[in-house]
Amino acid sequence: METFYSLYPAFKHLHMTLIATSVLFFLVRFVLHLRKSPVMEKKVIKIAPHVIDTLLLLSGVILCFSINQYPFVDPWMTEKLGAVAAYIILATIALKANRGTLFKVFAALGAIGWVVYAAKLAMFKQAVLLG
């Protein structure tokens, strides 16, 4: 079991890299969506976010077990899970809602805002809303 805990830095860096990849890919897809680019119809563009986000979720679960802190047990982790859910919902709205460009831009900015909030929670491990 000691080997598992010694891998914590590697899983943490993998998790942070997947976060950056997920957000960057969302932003690229958002710009392509606004431009109505035919690239958005490519199979890899449709599948990649699911693969990236699944690996991101898996690395997050591994980190939870590594530090023995879990959603619905530790308030900061519960809040972080809520922030991630808000990111996913707003990113989906930004990419798929049948609304105007301004609405979609605000949804995308909101999604990024929730990612920033999740990062703050991860760094300081102090819940604001539930603490």
The domain limits of the chain are: 2-124
- The string of pLDDT tens digits covering residues 63-102 is 999 999 999 999 999 999 999 999 999 999 999 999 999 9
Asked whether residue 1 carries a pLDDT value surpassing 90, the answer given is no
**What's residue 129's pLDDT?**
74
Asked whether residue 111 carries a pLDDT value surpassing 90, the answer given is yes
Asked whether residue 8 carries a pLDDT value surpassing 80, the answer given is yes
- The string of pLDDT tens digits covering residues 12-50 is 999 999 999 999 999 999 999 999 999 999 999 999 999
**What's residue 131's pLDDT?**
58
Q: What is the spatial distance between Cα 106 and Cα 112, in angstroms, rounded to a whole number? A: 10
**What's residue 3's pLDDT?**
65
**What's residue 39's pLDDT?**
96
- The pTM assigned to this predicted structure is 0.89
Give me the mean pLDDT over the 6-13 stretch.
Answer: 91
